[in-house]
């Protein structure tokens, strides 16, 4: 344990979506493997207070922490790389900063002073950064600053961390800037974008201690020397983040470049990374690249945005590694299925992820029916469990107009509905179940076989439930509710007998999957899909 928390600030330049989150997670992985208690924080410059209402098309999935905070998808990467559970303090959105400042002003906390971005907003940002360090008891807090240098909305965050550089003791702050080194049509790598990006950072009073050249290939020594010369950084502190076969290889690549040695020298600490287990898992991943593929159809309405289901795809890959198979997971447009386009019989397993709203729902229900009737392994997550209940009610329990009242409030058979105690709540946000909750598992079921326990704790993000009035009718038709809220008639897991694998969870198991240990529901699903693939 260090005497005082040290901070690593990761900024980005030229383009967004270059992999700052993966780089930040890799830094924390390297540090933790060497015995340093490292944690990670993401600061998003948006005026939202959390990620709950952000469009998945633009921002990817909404990740949910166990303490019930809807946050940026990078927090999911933080958990997967460090094998820890994140808390709400690890994602700060600027809307909450400005809200806090305004609330303090209304209460008179500023004693009549003129409220300004500097020092009031910057002080709030610094307070939240230090709070994250304290809450996570971090020796080193890696702080990823969203967006790119030059974005107007990010300037106030950069100003706050610039101030921290002078407020913290010597060797307590390190600035690492990651920016694009593109390959142009001639095949030449160009350093001008990273040069301009560093110039923009310098204009904000921040001198980067290290540079990360993000490129498709390894940046040669001569170009790293050029970057160092024009960017005021020593050559040994210029590193490369090339495109790799697996994103999990990046910690190994950075150690190979001796980034950890420069980092230890800069921060005045001593540690030796031990990534042997991690390397073995990534090697196992690479060996599967030539193995026969298990084809999984992920039926979603965000069919052009894989990031909208990032944790789902990662959980499938984790399970594939541990089952010794290569996962070929494809996004399938549920609206196309509604229109009769495409085919489902080429898949070894079908998965319907979480979601909200009515768009594309009938296509998802069609896919679920196909899986049920054709004995194709099926995994339904959150909305995927609700829609599986609806499909079963319609076609097995003969409740023909069964649906969810979320999409149709005037149903004859609302098999998915708000519970009575939810219906009179004025603030609909208060009806959401967010974060970790216990689930009681029935012995002798598939759920118990998968989890090996009669009680599990899983993360939720939903509002509607299986209508208690229909539970007996569904069970009489053959549905098995194998998981429920403890001591309550609220169903959390649906499965079917006489099916190789038909499993729906009201919770989001994908958030708990790790490279080292796949989540049990995904592991069982992939094992069943592997068996089906073997019979083809």
Active site residue ranges: 382, 508, 510
Q: Which residue has the tokens 């990823």?
A: 144
Identify whether the C-beta of residue 458 lies closer than 8 Å to the C-beta of residue 451.
no
Q: What is the 3-state secondary structure (H, E, C) of 283-337?
A: HHHHHHHHCCEEEEEEEECCCCCHHHHHHHHHHHHHHHHHHCCEEEEEEEEHHHH
Largest CA distance in the chain: 75
Element housing 75 (H / E): helix 74-82
DSSP class of residue 236? G
Q: Which residue has the tokens 């700052």?
A: 20
Nearest to 273 by CA among 25, 34, 29, 23: 34
Separation of CA 187 from chain center: 34
CA trace torsion 239, 243, 247, 252 (10° rounding): -40
Identify whether the C-beta of residue 32 lies closer than 8 Å to the C-beta of residue 295.
no
The dihedrals phi and psi of 398, each to the nearest 5 degrees, come to 60, 35
Identify whether the C-beta of residue 349 lies closer than 8 Å to the C-beta of residue 528.
yes
DSSP class of residue 499? S
Beta bridge partners of 242: 215
CA trace torsion 18, 19, 23, 26 (10° rounding): -160
Identify whether the C-beta of residue 142 lies closer than 8 Å to the C-beta of residue 8.
yes
Separation of CA 477 from chain center: 37
Tell me how far apart the terminal alpha carbons of the chain are, to the nearest angstrom: 55
CA dist., res. 521 & res. 419, Å (int) = 26
């Amino acid at each position: 344990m260090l005497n005082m928390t040290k901070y690593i600030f990761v900024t980005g330049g030229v383009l967004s979506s270059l992999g700052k989150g993966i780089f930040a997670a890799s830094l924390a992985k390297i540090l933790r493997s060497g015995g340093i208690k490292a944690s990670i924080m993401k600061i998003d410059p948006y005026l939202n207070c959390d990620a709950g209402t952000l469009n998945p098309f633009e921002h990817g999935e909404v990740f949910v922490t166990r303490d019930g905070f809807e946050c940026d998808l990078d927090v999911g990467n933080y958990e997967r790389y460090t094998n820890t559970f994140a808390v709400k303090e690890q994602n700060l959105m600027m809307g909450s900063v400005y809200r806090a400042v305004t609330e303090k002003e209304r209460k008179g906390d500023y004693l009549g002073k003129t409220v300004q971005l500097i020092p009031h907003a910057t002080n709030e940002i610094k307070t939240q950064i230090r709070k994250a360090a304290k809450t996570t008891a971090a020796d080193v807090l890696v702080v990823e600053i969203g967006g790119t240098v030059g974005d107007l909305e990010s300037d106030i965050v950069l100003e706050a961390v610039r101030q921290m550089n002078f407020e913290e003791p010597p060797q307590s702050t390190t600035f690492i800037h990651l920016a694009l080194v593109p390959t142009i049509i001639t095949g030449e790598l160009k350093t001008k974008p990273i040069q301009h990006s560093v110039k923009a950072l310098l204009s904000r009073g921040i001198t980067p201690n290290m540079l990360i050249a993000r490129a498709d290939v390894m940046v040669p020594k001569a170009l790293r020397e050029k970057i160092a010369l024009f960017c005021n950084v020593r050559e040994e502190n210029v590193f490369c983040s090339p495109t790799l076969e697996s994103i999990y290889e990046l910690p190994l690549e950075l150690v190979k470049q001796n980034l950890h040695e420069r980092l230890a020298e800069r921060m005045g600490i001593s540690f030796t990374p031990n990534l042997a287990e991690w390397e073995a898992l990534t090697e196992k991943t690479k060996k599967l690249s030539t193995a026969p593929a298990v084809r999984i159809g992920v039926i979603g309405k965000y069919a052009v945005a894989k990031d909208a289901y990032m944790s789902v795809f990662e959980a499938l890959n984790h399970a594939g590694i541990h089952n010794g198979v290569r996962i070929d997971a494809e996004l399938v447009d549920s609206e196309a299925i509604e229109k009769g386009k495409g085919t489902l019989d080429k898949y070894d397993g079908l998965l319907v992820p979480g979601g909200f709203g009515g768009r594309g729902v009938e296509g998802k229900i069609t896919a679920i029916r196909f899986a049920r009737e054709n004995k194709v392994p099926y995994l339904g997550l959150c909305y995927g469990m609700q829609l599986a209940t609806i499909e079963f009610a319609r076609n097995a329990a003969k409740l023909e107009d069964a649906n969810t009242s979320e999409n149709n409030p005037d149903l004859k058979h609302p098999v998915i509905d708000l519970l009575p105690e939810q219906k009179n709540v004025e603030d609909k946000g208060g009806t959401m179940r967010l974060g970790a909750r216990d689930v009681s598992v029935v012995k002798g079921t598939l759920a118990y076989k998968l989890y090996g326990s009669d009680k599990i704790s899983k993360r939720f993000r939903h509002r509607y439930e299986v209508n208690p009035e229909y539970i007996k009718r569904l069970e009489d038709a053959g549905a098995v509710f194998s998981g429920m809220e403890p001591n309550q008639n609220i169903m959390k897991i649906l499965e079917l007998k006489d099916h190789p694998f038909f499993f729906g969870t009201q919770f989001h198991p994908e958030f708990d999957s790790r490279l080292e240990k796949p989540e049990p529901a995904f592991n069982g699903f992939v094992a069943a899909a592997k068996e089906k693939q073997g019979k083809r």
